[in-house]
Amino acid sequence: MSSISKLFATSGKKFYSLFGEVATNLHQMGGLYLRMAKEDDRVKRKSLLDEIEAMENRNDNVTHKLFVELGRNFITPFDREDIHTLATSLDDIADYIWGTAKQMYYYDIDHHNASIEDFTNQLNNFIELLAKALLGLQNRRNMADLIAILNDMRKVASACDHIISELLFKLFDSNNNMDAIEVIKLTDHYNMLQNVCNKCGDSVNVLESVVIKYA
């Protein structure tokens, strides 16, 4: 059996189905996060936060199913370590999206800032690309198309990282007269955004590893 055939073997359908569920969950979470960032009404923000939490809990259940399948099946569609690492990185992205959403609400973060709005939009773009990449594996997409998606994902993740750096530089600018408590809250929030960005990068790395091994 060729490498490509092994990658998309019938025995892997359950794994691809579960990764497809994760893709759907993350895509919905990204959309909810984008709506929450643009929402000024705190009551509506709380409602969106509750929806994000529900999606995060749903994603935890799917991740658990992935780990159960990994323990049950001797034959896997690609390396067991890669499956575990990918599932973990995707779960981390969901966790940190929920974490940033909680901070947004409880710290009452004002996202009417061009850089933060840019980051939020870029994050949503990344999640849309990630969903395409995961579904691309499940639906036997051409590897060249998948590589192109991964390249776009890396560019978006790099742009997010650059935005966070600029936000931190501006926050500690000597001309910044912001209240100390506000600086502390925003520093914590930006660090959480950096964690999201790092986990996005991890997901690209493991997907590239799968492509390199089986292309």
How many C-beta atoms lie closer than 10 Å to residue 203's C-beta?
25
CATH code, domain with 113: 1.20.58.220
pLDDT of residue 8: 46
Overall average pLDDT of the 22-47 stretch: 91
pLDDT at residue 153 is higher than 90: yes
pLDDT digits (tens, 9 = 90+) for 122-145: 999 999 999 888 877 765 557 778
Alpha-carbon torsion, ordered 106, 107, 108, 110, to 10 deg: -140
**Mean per-residue pLDDT, 99-107:** 92
Average per-residue pLDDT for the chain: 86
Domain count, the chain: 1
Amino acid 77: pLDDT? 77
Tens of pLDDT along 56-82? 999 999 999 999 988 887 777 778 888
Q: Which domain holds residue 62?
A: 3-214
The model's pTM? 0.86
Residue 180 CB partners (closer than 8 Å, separation 6+): none
